[in-house]
Chains A and B, each alone.
Chain A
């Protein structure tokens, strides 16, 4: 069976190559046909790979190395992409899927442009498939099939981790299609309003899953690794954060291109860079050049191939950019204090922030070249990344109502200063009353300020309260995303500064105290699951009249011959009580167990904030649909709707956009 999958992958490779050939020559129909054929082939290939995991066909080398008959079905399926080769097969499937989605949904009236976008995407799929088939082939058989597989790494047997890789890949590979659209636009010499309108949904189609994928990974690290924290500035986390930051910059700059035709070259450059950073992320993770909690098998050949791919595709795109960018037309004139100026500031900050993360991530590599081994830890990122982004978030509520071209400067300043002072004073007063440290105080004030700003902007646009719910989805999307950032900031700051952590050793019946809770160890029993056995501790918690029970475990998976920590979490409404079971110790004849117990205040706000951002992205994607032609400058009739849909050029007091419509 797997041989059929192997053959189908080769056919998908051929179809992608033909797709690239016809596409780049401007034949849309042929390129689209090839994209659909490639999707059919790759879906068959990937489906057969999943089937060999489900049916535990241990004659397939990959299955025998990563699966086991005792594993629950869902983890057999998820095991397909829980390893390097299988995840690359998923990568190829998603890449081809985006080409097919483009062939199906892309209707701009510019057939050569669409054909070239499909062509570039075909070239990307082709490169991915070459890498899959020649450097990480999942379809190989063993000469002698073992009776049993060696099992999936048990820390990966987790629901969040089952969907985390597909989400991340939708993000990474999604940016490859944005890249293809940018390359096609550059070839054509037209990165204009129509281009932006057609491209923006695909940017969101990549950015939303990437956001969710990162949040899922972070949530997994929080409850599975037992370290109490949710973000460790691990190279693998940074590898996904960098394309996310550039994608966020792109989401904002493409608004200027869509509404005004401006920032064309910059938007194209961001689209190229977002994809380059996606491949760079894959390189950092898969080549093993950096120390990380992720333990993918390390293979220098794969690393050098990925690096070669990055050079080839990135270099070609940058060369194309350097050649064609001067041809691109800009939008109408604008002042520095305008919506364009505000969005430009946004982009500068995201760009600089990306490079501080990049520097911290690859600095150990640079240092190693000089012969020293070193690592860069959380304090570096807290010192650089956090204040740079905080500065942007601080001005967001002030600049977000600046109008296109030129803001009414005086009004903007007066409003900004007054509202800023009022909100800041209120927040600081609340802080003083709550007795928090200054850094945390400023963080919470910033969060409140952002949420207030998002709400105010919504009401400013809807003019009357009754119209708030009939606002376009796009406006709601922006509002939700900005509220999400505010909640995220509050959660992140409160959790980081207010976390209690305590390591205790308890014998049966003994008690300790954490964050006002009395924690008593009832006892430690043994437990058993489908493919593991465990020591399970029972902790009774009490604080006043509130009580809870936590049962952290230490599991042992015989198939993988390794132990894992299963943390236990009790949600108090304001935060998580979190316990991880350590080891058993014999101290002078007395048996004690060690525990790490944390109180993580408001941690759910962090994940909920990111979820709101992603939800906002979904709203924004569905709120801005329309054909490319209607956004062309000559189709003036569509203009007023446009203004209403996103960002009205006038102050509402002067010309309420709804009245323009009626």
Chain B
């Protein structure tokens, strides 16, 4: 086989693979890149819309944590100016508590409440979720 023919075959195969991968990556990123919102971001956006999926983060407001059943709970995420109400059904991370930083994965329901499927809390004493760098807690 002549080297040029072979090279064209190799290039065609590579191009095909790359095109396929690029297409999958485009679809994958379009559908699965989750935006992160602080309460202030959300207010700037004009509030939540139903089905808005992504991450929200801030601090668990003091006095807002209520267990509604054995495993379900509601709480409010706050930053300096705004808030987001969250419901969650599951086991909370070990360092999840009122006043602590938290990041939640999930989507908004029709009442503008964020239904979280997973909570990430502060990992240890020295570590703040990176999304929360620069987010100020409420004035106390």
Contacts and interface: CB of A to CB of B under 8 A. Distances in A.
A384 B25 contact: yes
Give the residue among A355, A367, A383, A504 with the most B Cβ atoms within 10 A: A383
Contacts of B35: 372-374
B51 interface: no
A592 B43 CA distance: 37
A315 B116 CA distance: 45
A412 B68 CA distance: 64
B58 to A, nearest CB: 13
Interface string A392-421: 000000000000001000000000000000
Contacts of A634: none
B110 interface: no
Contacts of A52: none
Nearest to A338: B1
Contact of B6 (A336, A364, A377, A560): A336
Contact of B70 (A376, A379, A380, A587): A587
A384 B95 contact: no
Given A349-B17, A356-B21, A373 B36 contact: yes
B1 A380 contact: no
B71 A594 contact: yes
Interface string A261-296: 000000000000000000000000000101101010
Nearest to B41: A373
Interface string B22-62: 00110111011111100000000000000000110000000
B126 A374 contact: no
Nearest to B130: A291
A595 B91 contact: yes
A442 interface: no
A580 B10 CA distance: 51
A348 interface: yes
A437 to B, nearest CB: 20
Contacts of A594: 70-71, 90-92
Nearest to A353: B21
Nearest to A505: B70
Contacts of A304: none
A563 B24 contact: no
A383 B33 CA distance: 13
Give the residue among B54, B55, B94 with the most A Cβ atoms within 10 A: B94
A376 B71 contact: no
A562 B124 CA distance: 7
Interface in B1-26: 1, 3, 6, 9-10, 13-14, 17-18, 20-21, 24-25
A380 B26 CA distance: 9
A153 interface: yes
Contacts of A345: 13
A359 B130 contact: no
28 contacts: A153-B124, A291-B129, A335-B6, A336-B6, A344-B10, A359-B29, A364-B33, A367-B33, A374-B33, A375-B36, A377-B32, A377-B34, A379-B32, A381-B28, A383-B28, A383-B31, A387-B24, A388-B17, A406-B1, A503-B91, A504-B71, A560-B124, A562-B124, A565-B94, A582-B92, A583-B92, A594-B70, A594-B90
Given A290-B130, A295-B124, A380-B32, 4 more contacts: A334-B1, A345-B13, A376-B29, A383-B24
